[in-house]
Copies of this chain bind each other. A is one copy, B any other.
Amino acid sequence: MVTKSTPDRGDAFDPDCPTRVVLDRIGDKWTVLVIGALQDGPLRFSVLRVRVGGVAAKVLTQTLRAMERDGLLTRTVHAQVPPRVDYELTDLGASLTGPIQTLTDWAETHLSQILGARETYDAALDPPLDAR
């Protein structure tokens, strides 16, 4: 018997735990960036694309749809001649900006340590042999 042992705590290690669902979404690079981009107010698709930088339209669309599905943002289509679609964070989406900010703060603080560790690690490999 495997006795799946209901994951009471946020045992995200169990693939069956729904917390994992959320982590999968957060774990998406673009989702995090989109939330960051939208935290100052709604943006339209094309602006968002530039703002996030380096995201392909297709992937941005996918990301936005997934986020809309999860209730993180709303998608408003204006029936205009050049189509205009606004994306805006919902309260739920906005509530994520805090945790994400914590993360980016950490990133900024420890960036140099990481880059340093990376250099050390790479230097420890046989330099002639192109590591990677």
Question: Which residues of chain A have a CB within 8 Å of any CB of chain B?
Answer: 10, 12-15, 18-19, 21-29, 32-33, 36-37, 51-54, 68-72, 92, 95-96, 98-99, 102-108, 110-111, 113-118, 120-122
Given A19-B104, A27-B29, A102-B99, A118 and B13 contact (CB-CB distance below 8 Å): no
Q: Is the interface of A mostly helix, strand, loop or mixed?
A: helix
B102 touches A102 (CB 8 A): yes
> Given A70-B114, A102-B102, A113-B71, A10 and B92 touching (CB < 8 A)?
no
Complex Cα distance, B31 from A114, in Å, reads 14
A95 proximity list for chain B (CB < 8 A):
106, 110
Contact among B52, B92, B107 for A22, CB-based, below 8 A: B107
- A108 near B19 with CB under 8 A, answer yes
- CB <8 Å contact, B69 and A12: no
